[in-house]
Every structure is written in C-alpha cells, then in structure tokens.
Chain A
Amino acid sequence: SYELTQPLSVSVALGQTARITCGGNNIGSKNVHWYQQKPGQAPVLVIYRDSNRPSGIPERFSGSNSGNTATLTISRAQAGDEADYYCQVWDSSDVVFGGGTKLTVL
C-alpha cells in the first residue's frame, strides 16, 4: 500500500518560513491535499491539488509537489498557525493520509 511520510514536528520562529514535507514514491504524479488541525477542532483544508488555496486561506500558505516530495510552505508564520498538518493523496481507490506534522511557532 502507498505510504506518505511526514516529519513528526517542525519548528519555526515567529515571522519566518516553515516548510512541511510529505514524502511518497513518485508523489509528484499525484495530487496532494493539505489539512490544518488545531487542538480539539476538525481538520480544515488549506491546500488542494498541490498548490491551490481555498477561499479564506491566507496567501501565506502555499504548496508544491515534485518527484518524491510535496511541500507545504507557510510564510511569515504566526502563532495562530500552530497546529497539526496532514497531507493526503489517493492511491487507486484508497485515500491515504500522512502521519501528520506538529508545527510549533517559537
């Protein structure tokens, strides 16, 4: 079965740029979607189809996908960006989530 690998945690200084990776075999050939989940809340879509932002998501959130790695980039990180982030793809008829990355804003 297809696996997605995310770092357990990423730290970023306030106002700096955070990059969260999602690794998978030839993931660049798939569409990757990203979700943000704050404690006690449901996940929220932040990026779909590799690099598209839903309405209401700040421009500070961007995504890219190539080769074996997809990346969620959060520019000018704010305290409110602290959350767990999950990548997601489809593999055949199955939905696959990455294990999640906890983002800490220092």
Chain B
Amino acid sequence: EVQLVESGGGLVQPGGSLRLSCAASGFTFSSYDMHWVRQATGKGLEWVSAIGTAGDTYYPGSVKGRFTISRENAKNSLYLQMNSLRAGDTAVYYCARGYGIRGNNWFDPWGQGTLVTVSS
C-alpha cells in the first residue's frame, strides 16, 4: 500500500524555524517527484514546494528564500525546512507524490497532514 506519513508539526513563534518530515512507503520513492501543499483552516489548497527525482527544487514566491525542500532517497523521506515563519504560514502541511510527467504532475496520494501553528 502506498503511504505517506508526515511529522514534525507544532507550535512555533514568529520568526522561528521548523522541519517537517514525510515518510514514504509502498513505492519506489526515488522515482517520483514529491511536493508539499498546505491548507490554512477553512481555506483552500496552496502549493508550497516540489522536488524532482534529480533533486531540482521549485517554490512559489510566497515561500521562496524561507522554505527548503529536500529528500533522502535512502531513507524514503521528504523534508521541508521552514525558516522565518510568519502567522500566515499557519496551516496543515501535506506531502504528496507527484504523478505524471514533470511540469504536469497530479498529486496521488496525499499524506494525512501535520499542523503547523505560528503564534507567540
């Protein structure tokens, strides 16, 4: 069974840092692009970052320079290092497998999410 399990969420003060992890199982992790998508409470989905099989990374402007996505294929793990956190970064963070060709991925499956709360 293909499975993604996020961890590392929690309460952090504005300006602080947090590292999220996503453990993958049930598929050849190294062969797939991987993504982080977040969702603030009661709001829609927002793409946060992507990493290709070769380690190439992509970010939207809202997090570029503050967030870093990485992967460790030997551990079937995906990470998101979040620095300079703001209240607006408060959300549930999902990891998702990217399926299909580069630049046209769809997301399947998604993990259950981990909640990040940025507050003093």
Contact = CB atoms under 8 A, between A and B. Distances in A.
A69 B100 CA distance: 22
Interface string A15-32: 000000000000000010
Interface stretch (B8-16, B19-27, B79-87, B103-111): B103-111
Contact of B103 (A49, A90, A99): A90
A97 B111 contact: no
Q: Is chain A's interface secondary structure helix, strand, loop, or mixed overall?
A: strand
A86 B44 CA distance: 8
Interface string B82-120: 000000000000100001100111111111110000000
Contacts of A97: 44-47
A61 interface: no
Nearest to A95: B47
A86 B112 CA distance: 17
B106 to A, nearest CB: 4
A95 B35 contact: yes
Interface residues of A, number: 21
B55 interface: no
Interface in B38-73: 44-47, 50, 58, 60
A33 B47 contact: no
A88 interface: yes
Given A42-B112, A49-B106, 12 more contacts: A33-B106, A42-B109, A42-B113, A43-B94, A43-B107, A45-B109, A48-B99, A48-B108, A86-B44, A90-B105, A94-B58, A97-B46
